[in-house]
Amino acid sequence: MTQQKASREELIKQDVHDLHRLGYAQELFRTMGGFSNFAISFSIISILTGAVILFDYGLAWGGPAASTIGWPLVSIFTLLIAAAMAEIASAYPTAGGLYYWSSRMKNKDWGWWTAWFNLAGQIAIVAGIDFAAASFVNSSIVTPILSNFGIAYGNGSAILGSSFVSGQLLTMAALLAIQLVLNVAGIRIVALLNDVSVWWHIGTVLVIVAALFLISSGKAHSGLSPFAVAPQDTSLNTSVFGGSINLGPAIGYALPVAFLFSLLQAQWTYTGYDASAHVAEETIGARLASAWGVFISVAVSAVVGYIVLLGLVTHLPPLDQVFNPSCVATPTGLCSQYYGGAAVVFSTLTYNLGTLGDWLGAAIAVAMSLCGLASVAAAGRMLFAFSRDHGVPGSPWLRKVSHRFRTPANAIAAIAVFSYLLTNAAFIFGGATAIAIVTAISTIALYWAYGVPIFLGVFGKQEWREHAVWRLGRFSKPIALVAVAWIVVISVLFLWPTSGNAFTWLAYIVFLGFLLIYYFAWARKHFKGPIVEVGEVELTEIEREFEHAAEELVGGV
């Protein structure tokens, strides 16, 4: 006899039972399907955001090889990390995933540190995405429109006469406000927009690549091989044990070091795929759907991302104009954002495709904005879950769920505010390199949050394996160990001070110092972790309260 496929209602009933087993009530609205779960992680990875934002920095530190060699190299190790995470996600399908995993596999203290790394990374990734999205929105949409009315407005425009309030920061504030409203309005809207985001990303990539190869103007390009390790920032210096290494092409042995720094381009792109775990409480068939969402989002991004990067590096404009410290940033110039100009991807498109390039830049801006929307959604769920267990100051307020929309509205608002504040701080200290600082911080913090539960999956309590339904079998532990080793490597790389992210290590030390003080002063004694304090009856009663509130809201309309 063949086993009948479970109905939607049966799957939801099993999901709620699994959630009760973990100690939580079904407060959020469970309506996302498997594709939508994959879509939120794919949208946050967003090959039209991370790979595009840091394309300039990849070229500056590693040349074209940052994309053609660095991308597949990082993709392989990231797939191993995603596989290790997916296996654990299938055992513990709950919002805040990683924090809960570490708590169950070791203890509350490991969970607390995982949560704070994850939270810091989530806030920083929202900051990085929306700061960059604001740049593209201004360059491709806002500035051209306002110029028709004689209004000069751009990324560098000083607002209210202040050099610390730029046009880019103002546009970022507007994007965050829109994303906040949409996220509070309900998971159905966000899920629909994430589904659209998948096809928008893929469609835009196909159009970009087809246009570059089929209808490019045929202008002379950079002349570099797509696989050349050729750093464009010839003044790039890094401190090494009290000395200094110049990473320019004059010193051949320094080129591999520069190439390793350039891996930030790919590695930051591959962040945020833990979102599939964070929305597990809103996903139908969560144990399998969340696991596949984590893994498949990375796999699809690896392929689609390489296609667009290959198209871009084979059509680069003259790099002596793009990477020239004395270049003047103008709306029509090729000067890289590395020196205060436009993103090289935008310049490449307009250089090769003219007006069509402007339209494709606008399409990328839309993709980035959708990426920011998904990031706010995931970060809000993570903060909500941690607050539910009283892990952050203001937890009673942050853990509240809107009865009307069944969304963690307060946590979502807090993410938007703190992301904006972080960006402003990075902008004040780093100026044009603010994006490199923010992205390096988010990459390290998130991967530490990924690495802790993966490490504990091997050396912690092993009861989680009994509940996992997405299994790696005998390859589970070897994959986990390689994944942890890679996280150690990238942590060293991206904390190392270079001309692009000289303040990252300082910012991270300050962050760790704050956590140490907070942990020993309060958390070690007072934080209880995800302890189940109520039973099935009490959890069901909480769910009935939400259903009753929803009925009253409908009746009052």
- DSSP class of residue 157 equals P
Mapped onto helix, strand or coil, the DSSP state of residue 266 is helix
Cα–Cα distance, 74 to 72 (Å, whole number): 5
Residue 204 to residues 207, 354, 364, 370, Cα–Cα distance (Å): 5, 16, 7, 13
Q: Does domain 33-556 have CATH number 1.20.1740.10?
A: yes
- State the DSSP string of 395-445: HHHHT---TTT-S-HHHHHHHHHHHHHHHHHHHHHHGGGHHHHHHHHHHHH
What pLDDT shows up at residue 370?
95
pLDDT digits (tens, 9 = 90+) for 264-305: 889 989 999 999 999 999 999 999 999 999 999 999 999 999
Six token digits for residue 521: 């002063």
Six token digits for residue 233: 């920032």
What pLDDT shows up at residue 140?
86
What pLDDT shows up at residue 241?
34
**Stretches in the chain below the pLDDT threshold 70:** 1-5, 157-165, 217-221, 234-254, 328-332, 429-437, 497-503, 531-537, 542-543, 546-557
pTM: 0.89
What pLDDT shows up at residue 240?
38
Six token digits for residue 283: 């996903």
pLDDT digits (tens, 9 = 90+) for 184-231: 998 889 999 999 999 999 999 999 999 999 887 656 567 788 998 888
- Give kind and range of the element (H or E) at residue 243: strand 243-246
Exposure on the CB side of residue 469, measured as CA atoms within 13 A: 12
What pLDDT shows up at residue 535?
64
What pLDDT shows up at residue 331?
57
- State the DSSP string of 451-463: HHHHHHHHHS--T
Residue 261 to residues 76, 254, 456, 506, Cα–Cα distance (Å): 17, 11, 28, 17
What pLDDT shows up at residue 252?
46
Six token digits for residue 497: 């001070």
What pLDDT shows up at residue 439?
74
Cα–Cα distance, 473 to 454 (Å, whole number): 15
What pLDDT shows up at residue 520?
95
What pLDDT shows up at residue 307?
96
What pLDDT shows up at residue 238?
47
CA-closest candidate to residue 378, choices 42, 86, 149: 42
